Amino acid sequence: MVNKQEILKISVVNFEPVIVGLKPNKEANLEKIKDYIVKAAHQGVNIIVFPELALTSYSGFSPSMARNLAEPIPGPSTNEIQELARHYNVYVAFGMIEEANSKLYNSAPLIGPSGVLGVYRKVHLFKPVDSWAEPGEYYPLIHTPWGPIGIGICRDNYCYPEVARAYRVMGARIHLNLTAFPKFPDVEDYVDFYMTMLGARALENAMFIASANMVGRQGELEYFGHSMVVGPKPGKMNYHVYAGPLGEEEGMATATIDLSWLNDLCIGLRGILEDRKPNTYIPLVRQ
């Protein structure tokens, strides 16, 4: 049995994709992603997380434009990032449009020194914007030196608690939230919602969540950032913010976390997994 490392340094990036006119500049975005990877690696970071569709932006492009921006995984962009991951011995998650078997997916590969370790495809699509994408169908557990890691994309993590819970019962202690969460024009409490739901996912699953969001304006929407790392804290019942939340400017936040802290939670949070009663949850999976 391989011993899992307990301490890691993880960074989340407030990222503003480059858009020229109405067209995403994928080449420029890839260079920005690579620059952040080098910066994080020089700070001793182990895992770097970028937002949903960081490679292309989330600007509401047409299905034909999405197809033009799509790549296979592995492919040109993941190959370039893998070279950096190998050189610096780091792990990188970022959002992109994946083409597989003539279908398009809103995807997030996790790349390590040895290559693509796994790919998550967004399951719960936001149809007004994800009209070009096929939904994913499973939750891939991705193995790293710090144990298995889970990935969800945006809406997966705010509105569907089953996603993070599925990963946790499979052994993940770290969950990545790659998101493109805008300032919705008809509400004012979007930041409170974002913080509350991710804090709840962290507490109810006794896990750490690293969330990376976009900033800046894309099309008709403006993105509020607030990338952060959250999780339980020994002796406390509320979630703790270990890095960030960043504001609305582009930048990077970094946390050093010790996964063994999850073994020393307050009495109100202990036994969450052991005390589950799966036989009573059957209505959740009835069609």
- The average confidence (pLDDT) of the chain is 93
Q: How high is the pLDDT of residue 287?
A: 63
Residue 2: pLDDT over 50:
no
User: 191 with 247: CB under 8 angstroms?
Assistant: no
| Residues in contact with 33: Cβ distance below 8 Å, sequence separation at least 6, in sequence order | 15, 50, 54, 55, 81, 92, 94
What pLDDT, on the 0 to 100 scale, is given for residue 111?
98
Which domains does the chain carry? 7-285 (3.60.110.10)
Residue 127 confidence (pLDDT): 81
pLDDT in tens, 36-51: 999 999 999 999 999 9
164-180 average pLDDT score? 97
**Residue given tokens 């950032």 in the structure block:** 225
- CA atoms of 24 and 52, how far apart (whole Å): 14
pTM of the predicted model as reported, rounded to 2 decimal places? 0.94
pLDDT digit string, tens, across residues 75-111: 999 999 999 999 999 999 999 999 999 999 999 999 9
For the chain, give the number of residues: 287
Task: Please give the pLDDT value at position 49.
Answer: 98
152 HSE (CA, 13 A, CB side)? 26
- The tokens for 68 are 């033009």
Q: Report which secondary-structure segment, H or E, holds 125.
A: none
Tell me the pLDDT band of 1, cut-offs 50, 70 and 90: very low
Tokens read off for 283: 């209505």
What is the token pair recorded at 276? Answer: 């589950």
230 and 199 in contact (C-beta within 8 Å)?
Answer: yes
Give the per-residue pLDDT at 229.
98
Beta bridge partners of 24: 19
Q: What is the pLDDT of residue 3?
A: 60
Residue 125 has pLDDT above 50, yes or no: yes
d(CA 201, CA 189): 18
One-letter amino acid at 221 equals L
